[in-house]
Amino acid sequence: MLKQKNHTLHDFKFESGMVISDLSMEYAVQGTKKLDEQGNIANAFLYLHGWSGDYASVKNLSSVIGPGKAIDTRKFYVISPTALGTPGSSSPSSTSMGTDFPEYSIKDMIVAQYELLRQGLGIEHLQGIMGTSMGGFQALHWALEYPDFMDFLILHGTSHHLSNRMFGVYHLMNQIIEGDAKYNKGKYVQNPVKVMEHVAYLSYLWSLSPENYEECFDSRNEFLAGVGERKADSINWDANDIIWRNKAMFNHDLTHEISRISVPALVIGIHQDQIVDEKFSIMPLKEGLRNSELFLYNSIWGHYGCIKDVLKASGAIGRFISEGCSD
């Protein structure tokens, strides 16, 4: 069972120059530490969750992360932080700062993680980093900012940039929230729940594969029940948190930097993914990296297949770690 922990970063400075005196970083660990001759943790592995996750999202990957799994917690000491900007760690809602919370970048997110590892956990090197979806954006920034800090990357359902379609959906999401009267320019007293349900509905319409929408529901009522489950997820979404997180994504474009990444990387994609699509997102990532392998699989779950069908990538992950990174 994961045990939630917190570490406070003092006087954390954002790229914008703004400073938060006490920035909280939530995280959990699993596995057993192995120390080198100098007493440093020698088997640390970092898992970075996607857009709507937190530190506990690592449990959704229990088919590939755990004792005896591809990422074996008998060998790896796995750290899973809650990203900067997501409740649990400091965010607009969790700090009660609302719109006064600094707008942050993907780089800010990974700098906070780096300081958590160095200051909070005393980790000076990672064996590897795995990032799912938006977590993969962060993993790529890790490789650029701290290229000698990790031995390998596992990039799952992610890319070095946003396709125009991906940008458009999340940009529209922000417009829908900001255009709602109850949002009140971010100065709301109560979270505008109804509009959060609307943006959850929007995200649901492209999170699955086209086949899923037509083949997995026998009636419109069943489909609407599926929509209702996604809407229910949004009860814990804060409007300012979502807007700030999406703004961080909008500036994610490593097109001109990606060739500098030399860390061995396994790029994993899903043929039916409509968010991080194969042609405009996955393949350009694979081609842009200097030292990478590619594994693609089918999932009727589309982007959700990063979790629901991740077992299909288990063999590729295990081989990459044991063969490609053994030396």
Active site residues: 273
Q: Which residues contact 145 (CB under 8 A, 6 or more apart)?
A: 107, 110, 111, 114
Helices vs. strands in the chain: H and E counts, helices first: 10, 10
Quote the DSSP letter at residue 253.
B
Half-sphere exposure of 134 (CA within 13 A, CB side): 27
Q: Which residues contact 120 (CB under 8 A, 6 or more apart)?
A: 7, 9, 25, 27
Half-sphere exposure of 115 (CA within 13 A, CB side): 21
What is the Cα–Cα distance from 161 to 181, expressed in whole angstroms? 32
Reference 127, options 237, 48, 43; nearest CA is 43
- Cβ-contact 102, 9 below 8 angstroms: no
Q: Which residues contact 111 (CB under 8 A, 6 or more apart)?
A: 145
What is the Cα–Cα distance from 27 to 29, expressed in whole angstroms? 7
Reference 56, options 79, 75, 31, 24; nearest CA is 79
Quote the DSSP letter at residue 127.
E
What is the Cα–Cα distance from 132 to 134, expressed in whole angstroms? 6
Residue 287 φ/ψ, nearest 5 degrees = -70, -30
